[in-house]
Amino acid sequence: MNINPKSEKPILVTGAAGDLGAIGRNVTAMLIERGNKVRALVRREDERAEALRKLGAEVVVGDLTDLASMHRAMEGVERVYFGMSVSPNYLEATVNTAAVARHHGVEAFVNMSQMTVTQMSVTETTDSPQHKLHWLSEQALEWSGLPVVIVRPTVFLEGFFLRLAAHGVKVSNQLVLPLGQSKTSPISSLDVARVVSVILDDPAPHIGKIYNLTGPESRDMKQYANAFSDALGRAITYVDVPVSPWVEKLKELGVPQHLASHLAVMADLHKQGRYDRMTDDVFRITGLRPMTVFDFVKRHANEFSPSQTT
Contact yes or no for 164/226 (Cβ under 8 A): no
66-76 per-position pLDDT tens digit: 999 999 999 99
Residue 293 pLDDT more than 50?
yes
What are the sequence ranges of the domains in the chain?
Answer: 11-155+188-213, 159-183+216-276+291-304
Nearest to 303 by CA among 210, 190, 185, 171: 171
CATH topology of domain 11-155+188-213: Rossmann fold (3.40.50)
The average pLDDT across 146-153 equals: 97
- Name the pLDDT band for 4 (thresholds 50, 70, 90): low
**Same-fold call for 11-155+188-213 versus 159-183+216-276+291-304:** no
Strands (E), the chain: 11-13, 38-42, 58-61, 79-82, 108-112, 148-153, 174-177, 210-213, 237-240
Measured between alpha carbons, how far is 53 from 112 in angstroms, rounded to an integer?
23
Contacts of 196 (CB under 8 A, 6+ apart): 23, 27, 81, 110, 112, 151
* pLDDT value at residue 61: 94
* pLDDT value at residue 189: 94
CATH topology of domain 159-183+216-276+291-304: UDP-galactose 4-epimerase; domain 1 (3.90.25)
- Name the pLDDT band for 159 (thresholds 50, 70, 90): confident
39-60 per-position pLDDT tens digit: 999 988 888 899 999 999 999 9
* pLDDT value at residue 171: 94
CA distances from 14 to 11, 136, 137, 292 (A): 10, 19, 16, 27
% the chain with pLDDT above 90: 81
Measured between alpha carbons, how far is 61 from 19 in angstroms, rounded to an integer?
16
- Name the pLDDT band for 307 (thresholds 50, 70, 90): confident
* pLDDT value at residue 19: 64
Nearest to 160 by CA among 139, 140, 189: 189
Which position has the higher pLDDT, 270 or 3? 270
Residue 6 pLDDT more than 70?
no
Contact yes or no for 13/60 (Cβ under 8 A): no
User: How much is the pTM?
Assistant: 0.93
Nearest to 65 by CA among 97, 103, 26: 97
- Name the pLDDT band for 1 (thresholds 50, 70, 90): low
Nearest to 81 by CA among 28, 131, 18: 28
The average pLDDT across 258-285 equals: 93
- Name the pLDDT band for 5 (thresholds 50, 70, 90): low
Burial of 287 (0-12, 13-18, 19+ CB in 10 A): exposed
